[in-house]
A and B are shown apart, each in its own frame.
Chain A
Amino acid sequence: MTIVPGILTERAVDPERFATDGVAPRLASRPRDRGELCEIVRAAARDGLSIVPWGGHCGIELRSMPQYDLAIDLSALDRIVEYVPEDLTLTAECGVTIASLGATLAARGQELPLEASHATRATLGGVLATNASGARRMRFGSPRDRILGARFVLGDGTLARTGGKVVKNVAGYGIHRMLCGSRGGLAIVVDASLKLLPAPAARSALIYEFDAAAIADASRWADFACEEPAALTVVSSSIACGARDDANQRAALPGATGQRPYWVVLGLEDEPERIAELRTLAVKRLGEPVLELAGADVVALWQRLADLEDSGTPRLTFSGSRLTPAALASWVARPAGTGCVFHAACGRLHVFETTDHAPQIEQFLAPEGFVRIASLRARGDDAQPGSTATTALRQRIRAALDPAGIFALGEHWVRSSG
């Protein structure tokens, strides 16, 4: 492979930094702005190089992924382009980290309620590409709910834009929405406009430890789905006690003693009067919590929960539509062993197992209404084939955005059913 001197060599960085499973791409570049990014993609297209865009290296673990040639490090595209607090909207570049975005918003009493593991490294682009959201997803939505518009680079280096920056908009196609979760396999999101939320008047987290029977007891949880708590998350104690924080220090989740097999948090974000009302309901149904957190400690807890999904641990992710801890009734009746995190309020279950065990676990959870969803760290060869019609449609979409197929993860997008 001959690389013509030019933008690729001018902006070259050490490709070893982008190695996965010990295999590094042949080249890596770090564009300084979106003009350079387009130039790099054009050069790669000209030279027939396949590309993987890189954010904070937290969402995607590219084991067994197809050989690719060029990593594009997007960390220099980290500007907040426009932030108008009174509009509750923000436009930011893809390389801005979730932590710095959060700090900017918190200073104005607002937030982007999308958690991702390793907030200090995770980037906005990565969060969008992996469709990441945390424990509060039911109440506050996922990237597709928050994205208003985006600018993105196509496979031929063209810069295009869809959507806008206002909260209501039906002018043109929502390609920006489809790019959420597309893993950088169709286009590279350069910047995005997002709908923000005011921070809640108050936050509270009620923490419990329960045995399996309590988790499985539907009557205990029945009231909560309609009360719309910010979060209701069940964590098996092996995970809760062995959690690591963002600095990878071993530190149990707050209140986790391991005396019972499940750690549970009920998150409340509302007016203080409403929190008091829900607390009363919680005490009636669940008893006194072992620990209560408030304010910034609650925000930190959401981040800790997101960090449980870090890329170091093999994990299978499932989505179900029964939004109560009792959806785990069969699962918790199994002999203990496999660690799990279940965001009951949004039906998302993480099971800490390798893909080798995926078929048995899928089979076990299917009758409970859980389907396995895109595991972002799934091996490239692990994807299950989608239906022929879906695959054909995806192929045409990919060809429309990336005609030469230079975004290496696009093939996965086309083939995968999850």
Chain B
Amino acid sequence: MSLTVSDLEELRALLGDDGVLASKAALFTYDADALVLDRHLPDVVVLPRSSDEVAAVVRWAYARKIPVTPRGAGTGLAGGATPEFGGIVLSVNRMDRLLRVDPDRLLAWVQPGLVNLALSHQVAAHGLYYAPDPASQQVSTVGGNVSTNAGGPHCLKYGVTLNHVLGITAVLHDGTVLTLGGEALDAPDFDLAAAIIGSEGTLAIVTEICVRLLPKPEAVKTMLFDFVTVEAACRSVSAVIADGIVPAAMEIMDQHTVELVEAWLHIGLAVDAGAVLLIEVDGPSISLASQVERITALALAHGARSTRVAKDEAERAAIWRGRKSAFGAYGRTASGFYIMDGVVPRTRLAEALETIYRLARERGLEAGNVFHAGDGNLHPHVLFDANDPAAQARALDASHEILRMCIAFGGTISGEHGVGIEKRSMMSELFAAEDLATMAAFRRAFNPDELLNPGKILPGGGGCGEGSAAHAHLHAQGDGLRGGVPAQLGGMAAGSGDAEGPWI
């Protein structure tokens, strides 16, 4: 489809001249999220400022049967914000205001384009923060987080976005504006908001969000342990949980990753270790000493060779920097890598890692693992030579097998990036036909013409050979990419001061 000059004029009448982008350059900017090689140009990009403006655009599009793809910061790895069928990309970037903070009641209303970390910064003066902390939090938006029900390293203790959203204002497919939930923990209405959270923009466009804020923990202790084997590190994780401790975060880097990170950053990681385990506990300072003691004892009992407890904020930051730099470190050595977002039950982590290494090895590839061990969310990186199409194909094959393993182990194919375009063909391996038919019927109840973010999540949505489309999804270094960081994210990575991979 293409929009006429008068269509664009109508949109400009709704949003103002600066709210409508139709230049070639602008359209190219919004043709994909971080799944960069699967690109589809939108016909127009709109930048509304309010719920009413979103409603006006959606009504306008509904009348003309034009698809609308909402977009936050575009850091998703699954193509959830890619306008596969063209039409309108509705960017929430100008809806970035903190509307109201109520420090006494520990809540705030925000617009969806507000950057996750900016929210925490803006409420910091009240001693409060917003708990969900996806690694992309420096750039990803609260609205985008809502659409993928995002969590972060600290979701082990604090939960995911769902657990921190009290209410939403949402625009339905026909432009109707609804408020669902509210400011209290329990709302009079039934919980439609809980279903909209995590629906990747396919049920409604969320335009205002009431979030819970938490008092900043009084103290934080960050520990680092190294192990001869990654299995031992995984067993320590299970042991800590079985002992009744819920740390704020538990993250593992395998040997491959540790080597790359240490060679780059020189932060004192043990390069001969099979794995490094980072555990963080937070809360009232009086509670932490005994937790650190118990965790250290458990880690030692499970084979930790050394333990390190960050003495101050600088050391803590260095430890976290090591963890967060893994993505950039891969980019320094491999010209291409494919990142997955699978989840397995925590108790099967060791087995899962072994399988990942085997699947990569069998295909002549290397795999690195750096992951949220506390919640079983794996982010295997399968590395390959981007100039070798056969290696790309083998990497894609390995990644499919890895996700199949996650399913076989009782896990899932996406922990935090969503299904989007990338993984929809695998939904029929995760769910039975009846489950998918039920989900399709449910989506039709909200989005009968499938104009809101069409084609996403459910299999068959793309209308073309998804297997071959997936082939193009590899995050390869090449033209327009910098240091292994996809082009759209290059600016963000540069902004953060180094090549940290901020989105996993």
Contacts and interface: CB of A to CB of B under 8 A. Distances in A.
Chains A and B belong together in one complex = yes
Given A171-B427, A171-B430, A87 B414 contact: no
A401 interface: yes
A271 B242 CA distance: 16
Interface in A18-74: none
Contact of B178 (A89, A174, A274, A389): A389
A399 B151 CA distance: 32
A217 B197 CA distance: 38
Given A84-B345, A177-B197, A417-B188, 20 more contacts: A109-B244, A110-B244, A144-B194, A145-B162, A164-B411, A164-B430, A166-B345, A166-B415, A171-B419, A171-B423, A173-B198, A173-B199, A173-B439, A175-B442, A201-B244, A273-B287, A319-B185, A321-B107, A389-B178, A393-B178
Contacts of A144: 162, 191, 194
Contact of A386 (B172, B189, B457): B189
A413 B443 CA distance: 18
A86 B236 CA distance: 11
A347 B192 CA distance: 21
Contacts of A322: 104-105
A123 interface: no
Interface string B383-422: 0000000000000000000000000001111111111000
Query: Which of B198, B199, B289, B290 has the most chain A CB within a 10 Å cutoff?
Result: B198
Interface string B174-211: 00101000111111111110110111100100000000
Contacts of B245: 198
27 contacts: A84-B345, A87-B241, A88-B346, A109-B244, A110-B244, A141-B163, A144-B162, A158-B437, A167-B375, A168-B372, A170-B148, A172-B427, A173-B203, A173-B457, A174-B199, A175-B438, A178-B191, A181-B190, A201-B244, A226-B127, A319-B184, A319-B185, A323-B106, A373-B188, A374-B188, A400-B444, A401-B438
Given A141-B163, A160-B438, A172-B427, A89 B345 contact: yes
A333 B408 CA distance: 60
Interface string A152-195: 00100011111011111111111101101110000000000000
Interface of B: 102, 104-107, 127, 148-151, 155-156, 159-160, 162-163, 166, 172, 176, 178, 182-192, 194-195, 197-200, 203, 215, 238, 241-246, 283-284, 286-287, 289-291, 343-347, 372, 375-377, 410-419, 423, 427, 430-432, 434-439, 441-446, 448, 457
Nearest to A274: B287
Interface of A: 84-89, 109-110, 131, 137-138, 141-142, 144-145, 154, 158-162, 164-175, 177-178, 180-182, 197-199, 201, 225-226, 228, 270-271, 273-274, 276-277, 319-323, 346-348, 369, 371-374, 386-387, 389-390, 393-394, 396-397, 399-401, 413, 416-418
A145 B160 CA distance: 9
B106 A225 contact: yes
Given A166-B410, A171-B430, A397 B442 contact: yes
B229 to A, nearest CB: 18
A281 to B, nearest CB: 11
Contacts of A165: 345, 410
Contacts of B242: 85-86
Contacts of A396: 444-446, 448
A350 to B, nearest CB: 12
B213 to A, nearest CB: 11
A173 B444 CA distance: 12
B290 A86 contact: no
Given A164-B411, A321-B183, A400-B441, A389 B104 contact: no
Contacts of B376: 87, 166-168
Contacts of A390: 178, 189
**Top-9 shortest CB links A-B:** A418-B188, A198-B244, A177-B194, A396-B445, A160-B438, A319-B184, A400-B441, A168-B415, A178-B195
